[in-house]
Amino acid sequence: MAKRILIIGLGLLGGSLGLALQEAGAGEVHGLDADPAAMAEALALGLVQGPPPASGPPYDVIVLAMPPGAAGAVAASLGDRLGPHTLLTDVCSVKASVIQGVRGALGPIPGFLPAHPMAGSHLQGPQAARTDLFRSCRVLLTPLPETSPAALDAGRALWEGLGATTHAMEPRDHDHTLALLSHLPHLLAYTLALEARNSQADAALAGPAFGDMTRLALCPPDLWADILLENRAAVLDRLGTYRASLDELASLLAAGDRPGLEARLSAARTWKNREAR
Amino acid sequence: MAKRILIIGLGLLGGSLGLALQEAGAGEVHGLDADPAAMAEALALGLVQGPPPASGPPYDVIVLAMPPGAAGAVAASLGDRLGPHTLLTDVCSVKASVIQGVRGALGPIPGFLPAHPMAGSHLQGPQAARTDLFRSCRVLLTPLPETSPAALDAGRALWEGLGATTHAMEPRDHDHTLALLSHLPHLLAYTLALEARNSQADAALAGPAFGDMTRLALCPPDLWADILLENRAAVLDRLGTYRASLDELASLLAAGDRPGLEARLSAARTWKNREAR
């Protein structure tokens, strides 16, 4: 386990990482949050051992754990906390924009390994942090042409040391796949909640299905506006094909085409049953 | 608790009702399922005490627990199991089409009280039945002009005796509200699973958000094709306004309008936080 670690952003993901690293026996786990109240709360909860000291040797690992649109500016502010052997990584849901931000701030550096742990919940902030958030979690790594083998090894060791499994892929594939598997589902859930609000539906009449399909609307709007905007091309592309499928089902429904409708629902169910948890 | 009860359709809802009624001390709980395998399984599991005898006095309660499109034909087949004092009720997710079917078969009868318990899961069949499915569940009752006060009282007593709460509303309001709170969410989930299937997405990369937003695609396709078709006008209406909201969010995203996008997501979150479980 790495010796000296700095986590920037102490919400659900950054805070959970601080707890998990301390439990796993990391030497020093420091942290920062741009929001003074969150910083005080994270310290009170012991998510990290303290803020970074004014001076000291470079960190072994620095983790960017803020919304993706802010990663570049934070990277630019690291100064000599970032050394030639520091692993610089992140936990953001979008990779291309984080890579662009970090490269814009620091140029292509061998220590940078973008990462995305597939963990989370609609809960947010330091008080949502959990020691076991990354246990059995899959972490997507998107090594760059400039990423050194040492940084890739250090990134794998960091996550696997917390009980996660790692999976390497291209940043572009990551963003296009996640647009479908995560970003579009969030957009659909927000839209359903918005629709219920606009029509003044009596939510007390809803059953568990509606609760499941709107739970993601509890996610932080500032974070999710940022994620959707930072990956907008891929999200709009996925939304286009989703709408085409929805339109097809609507046409079958309008036409009263029971065999056609049931065939589509069956295909969806077969896929879900076989492929998806 | 009613003395003699007949449940037709012994899947998740009908089977759970059989278990709950027996636990609550009903006198005789008989059942039928059109599928011989399901019938045998229901009997083996003790969901009901047996099939209805060839002859006997009319039942106190008859519950229709099959897909809504089949309710009329089943009502027509009840013969002298249905007496002048029998409460005839159902558990279907759509009311107008069930009412039309039952009225078409039997005319307007004082014993008919349409009902819809807001319980369920993607599991199906007799083996999914659970004694506690209706405990703390809300049951929507849609009394008709011809429904007698005695039938309404008997329906309330039936459900409340199982630990549920009842709520009376107009059939038309029920179908329009449920189109938004249940039928549209199912259609959205099926469509998302279909989209992932069509694009050959690697579901192993998905996190919990995708699992939540596609869980309803595990629901039985024949039942859900029936529900969507039987309530198609209301579902298409809700789908139209949902699509308009989705298009608005897509436009904000395409335009890079962060304040506009975040305002919509915040409104959705505020509503969900306050209104919905």
List, for residues A107-164, the tens digit of each pLDDT value: 999 999 999 999 887 788 999 999 999 999 999 999 999 999 999 999 999 999 999 9
- What's the rounded mean pLDDT across residues A190-210? 92
- What's the rounded mean pLDDT across residues A259-269? 98
Which residue type is seen at B161? G
Backbone angles phi, psi at A145, to 5 degrees: -55, -35
> Residue B35 has which token pair?
């599928």
- What's the rounded mean pLDDT across residues B132-143? 95
Contacts with A210 from chain B: Cβ below 8 Å = 181-182, 185, 276
> Residue A160 has which token pair?
């696997």
**Per-residue pLDDT tens digits for A24-51:** 999 899 999 999 999 999 999 999 999 9
Contacts with A192 from chain B: Cβ below 8 Å = 184-185, 188, 242
Residue B50 — very low, low, confident or very high, per pLDDT cuts 50/70/90?
A: very high
pLDDT at A191: 98
Considering chain A, what percentage of its residues have pLDDT values greater than 70? 99
- What's the rounded mean pLDDT across residues B213-229? 95
Residue B123 — very low, low, confident or very high, per pLDDT cuts 50/70/90?
A: confident
Q: Which alpha helices (DSSP H) does B77-122 contain, by range?
A: 96-106
Closest-CA distance, B173 to chain A, in angstroms, reads 11
Q: Is the pLDDT of residue B6 over 70?
A: yes
**Per-residue pLDDT tens digits for B234-258:** 999 999 999 999 999 999 999 999 9
DSSP 3-state assignment of A222? helix
Residue A1 — very low, low, confident or very high, per pLDDT cuts 50/70/90?
A: low
pLDDT at A204: 86
**Per-residue pLDDT tens digits for A61-120:** 999 999 999 999 999 999 999 999 999 999 999 999 999 999 999 999 999 999 999 988
pLDDT at B276: 62
- What's the rounded mean pLDDT across residues B140-145? 98
Q: How far apart are CA A92 and CA B210, in angstroms?
A: 17
DSSP 3-state assignment of A116? strand
- Give which of B136, B246, B266, B273 to mutate to test A binding, by max A Cβ within 10 Å: B246
Among chain A residues, the shortest Cα distance to B93 is held by A207
Q: Do B261 and A194 touch (CB under 8 A)?
A: no
Pairing of strands A115-117, A138-141: antiparallel
- What's the rounded mean pLDDT across residues B71-82? 96
Q: How far apart are CA A1 and CA A87, in angstroms?
A: 13
The mean pLDDT of chain B is 95
Contacts with B138 from chain A: Cβ below 8 Å = 204-205, 207
Among chain A residues, the shortest Cα distance to B239 is held by A250
Alpha carbon separation from B21 to A180, A269, B8, B156, B253 (Å, rounded): 44, 32, 14, 14, 52
Q: Do A196 and B120 touch (CB under 8 A)?
A: no
Q: Is the pLDDT of residue B227 over 70?
A: yes
Q: How far apart are CA A253 and CA A236, in angstroms?
A: 25
**Per-residue pLDDT tens digits for B169-204:** 999 999 999 999 999 999 999 999 999 999 988 888
Specify whether the CB–CB gap between B251 and B260 falls below 8 A. no
Q: How far apart are CA B46 and CA A16, in angstroms?
A: 47
DSSP 3-state assignment of B78? coil
- The angle formed by the CA atoms of residues B18, B21 and B25, to the nearest 5 degrees, is 140
- Is the ipTM value over 0.85, yes or no? yes
Specify whether the CB–CB gap between A60 and A35 falls below 8 A. no
Q: Do B210 and A120 touch (CB under 8 A)?
A: no
Establish, for the pair of chains A and B, how many residue pairs have beta carbons separated by less than 8 Å.
280
pTM: 0.90
Contacts with B212 from chain A: Cβ below 8 Å = 185, 212-213, 215-216
Specify whether the CB–CB gap between B135 and B164 falls below 8 A. yes
Q: Is the pLDDT of residue A203 over 90?
A: no
pLDDT at B208: 85
Q: How far apart are CA B225 and CA A159, in angstroms?
A: 44
